[in-house]
Amino acid sequence: MRVNVLFFASLKEDLGCAEIELQLSELASRADLFDCLTNELGSARVAPLFAENVSIAINQSIEKGEFTLQSGDEVAFLPPITGG
Amino acid sequence: MRVNVLFFASLKEDLGCAEIELQLSELASRADLFDCLTNELGSARVAPLFAENVSIAINQSIEKGEFTLQSGDEVAFLPPITGG
Amino acid sequence: MQKEDFSLSEEYEKCCVAAGPECGAVATFTGLVRQFEVSTSVSGLHLEHYPGMTEKSMENIVAKARNRWSLQHVRVVHRIGVLEAGSQIVLVIVASSHRPDAFAACEYIMDFLKTEAVFWKKEIRSDGEIWIKSTSHDYERRDGWAGEPSATVKRW
Amino acid sequence: MQKEDFSLSEEYEKCCVAAGPECGAVATFTGLVRQFEVSTSVSGLHLEHYPGMTEKSMENIVAKARNRWSLQHVRVVHRIGVLEAGSQIVLVIVASSHRPDAFAACEYIMDFLKTEAVFWKKEIRSDGEIWIKSTSHDYERRDGWAGEPSATVKRW
């Protein structure tokens, strides 16, 4: 299945891209997502995504624990928000 | 000496006047002021001035205790202020 | 102090110019004549002041706020006379580098205006005219500012 | 959410109309891009958002404020993109029957916008561009709103 992954703010700059489309197996887990990103972008480039203060949003809701992805999900990596 | 006395808000309405000029002796006290007002306006009319929550300002400064008046002083009777 | 209405927009423009490039926060408060008090309809408000003493009382409140916070600009406009329901009564604008100072000073000035500024208000109601009294809540709010600022932010 | 500038004056007029005859208090807050941060000159701010999620985060903050206080009108306008020093960033307008609710809700909304609204800010400085971080002070202010309102008014 195809899943769209978005990067914001400093992560967008660190990774040098705002968006990537991944090919994942059905019900891919958090670990599957990170593996696939590492394969696509290389381990040096994805390092900032592993930082403790980076949040993951699935379909615009923060997911702190485990999750499984479904086709068409929108995944986003968010650095700490700094507010309005 | 002549002293100008002002009445504000509800006191102005109760007494039916905004301002009265009194003829007082030099260094007239708080008691002299009330005596003179009673003579001029009658005891019924001045009764509201004796209320505990009425303040007296001499030259635009509240005077809570005793005072002596001097020629040209501006005396004002103020009901409790209700603010802006 | 003025009989005429004021313009928030004009005062805000002036404030931004006066406050300069270090200004990051502008808090404003506008008080209006409410048309209803509890179940009584109010057609207007009569605001009386003591020329000279009222100005002094307001300058004193602003000076205390300027002394307590770091402010770039403060402006208080107060109307007097007869004001219809819906009219603007009072405007406070405060500019500061930082949000907490702007909010605190604006609220402080309003709390002291309500208790220490020399004004008397009469409501013009459907059932007659009545001089209104300060509420104990107004005094509690003012007294909440007593003492030194503490390190902890406390709300209510 | 908009790239364009906003007008305090227009939003205030709309607020007074929308709030109706029981409105007695309008509090506003405008945040501006400061030209200096400590000793560094700032020429502008870049504000990034997450379309959809940012709007939801702001609606959630306003809903919490409306739930907590009795408010007649609330409006939040937030700009995005590159904003020069001196530009307006954010506007919050709150109308209520009474002053304490208007002030508290306006400050509450700003405190939560600063910590929970989905925005990222980059300062464009003379010495380069830098993504800014929330300060612990912002979180303390937000956490000051936790719990039930107490009977006593506490200030700082």
Whether residue D50 and residue A10 make contact (CB cut-off 8 A), yes or no, is no
Contact list, B10 vs chain C (CB under 8 Å): 120, 131
| D80, D47 Cβ separation under 8 angstroms | yes
**Across B2-22, average pLDDT:** 95
**Across B37-63, average pLDDT:** 94
Residue D155 has pLDDT above 70, yes or no: no
How confident is the model over A25-62, as pLDDT tens digits? 999 999 999 999 999 999 999 999 999 999 999 999 99
The verdict on domain D8-143 having CATH code 3.40.640.10 is no
Q: Does some domain include residue A84?
A: no
| D153, C144 Cβ separation under 8 angstroms | yes
Whether residue D120 and residue A6 make contact (CB cut-off 8 A), yes or no, is no
For residue C114, the SS3 value is: helix
For all residues of chain B together, what is the average pLDDT? 94
Residue C148 has pLDDT above 90, yes or no: no
- Residue D125 has a pLDDT of 87
* Residue written as token pair 């604006």: C106
Total domains present in chain B: 1
Q: Give the distance from residue A81's alpha carbon to the nearest chain D alpha carbon, in angstroms.
A: 5
Q: Does some domain include residue B84?
A: no
Contact list, C21 vs chain D (CB under 8 Å): 34-36, 85-86
Structure tokens at B50: 């004796």
* Residue written as token pair 């830098």: D130
- Band of pLDDT at residue C127, cut at 50, 70 and 90: confident
Whether residue D21 and residue C30 make contact (CB cut-off 8 A), yes or no, is no
Q: Does some domain include residue B63?
A: yes
**Across B2-29, average pLDDT:** 94
C59 touching chain D per CB within 8 A: no
Contact list, D108 vs chain A (CB under 8 Å): none
Whether residue D34 and residue C97 make contact (CB cut-off 8 A), yes or no, is yes
How confident is the model over C7-48, as pLDDT tens digits? 999 999 999 999 988 899 999 999 999 887 666 788 899 999
Rounded-to-integer distance, Cα C10 and Cα B48, Å = 43
Rounded-to-integer distance, Cα A74 and Cα A65, Å = 17
CA dihedral C146, C147, C149, C155 (to 10 degrees): -50
| A78, D111 Cβ separation under 8 angstroms | no
| Segments forming the whole domain that contains residue A51 | 2-78
- Residue C151 has a pLDDT of 40
The torsion region of residue C81 among left (phi > 0), alpha (psi -120 to 50) and beta comes to left
Q: Does some domain include residue A83?
A: no
- Band of pLDDT at residue B38, cut at 50, 70 and 90: very high
- What stretches of D4-153 adopt beta strand conformation (E)? 25-32, 36-37, 40-49, 73-78, 81-84, 88-96, 119-125, 128-131
Residues within 8 A of D (CB atoms), C 110-129 only: 110, 114
C139 touching chain D per CB within 8 A: no
Rounded-to-integer distance, Cα B28 and Cα C44, Å = 41
For residue C14, the SS3 value is: helix
Contact list, D29 vs chain C (CB under 8 Å): 25-28, 99, 102-103
What is the helix (H) or strand (E) element at residue A22, kind and residue range? strand A19-23
Report the chain A residue with the minimal C-alpha distance to residue D30.
Answer: A84
- Band of pLDDT at residue C156, cut at 50, 70 and 90: very low
Residue B37 has pLDDT above 70, yes or no: yes
Whether residue C134 and residue B8 make contact (CB cut-off 8 A), yes or no, is no
Of C114, C122, C131, the CB nearest to B84: C114
- Residue D38 has a pLDDT of 65
**CATH number, domain at A25?**
3.10.20.30
Report the chain D residue with the minimal C-alpha distance to residue C84.
Answer: D21
Q: Does some domain include residue B42?
A: yes
Q: Does some domain include residue B83?
A: no
Q: Does some domain include residue A59?
A: yes
pLDDT above 70 coverage of chain A, percent: 100
- Band of pLDDT at residue B83, cut at 50, 70 and 90: confident
DSSP for A24-67 reads --TT-BHHHHHHHHHHHH-HHHHGGGG-TT-EEEETTEE--S--
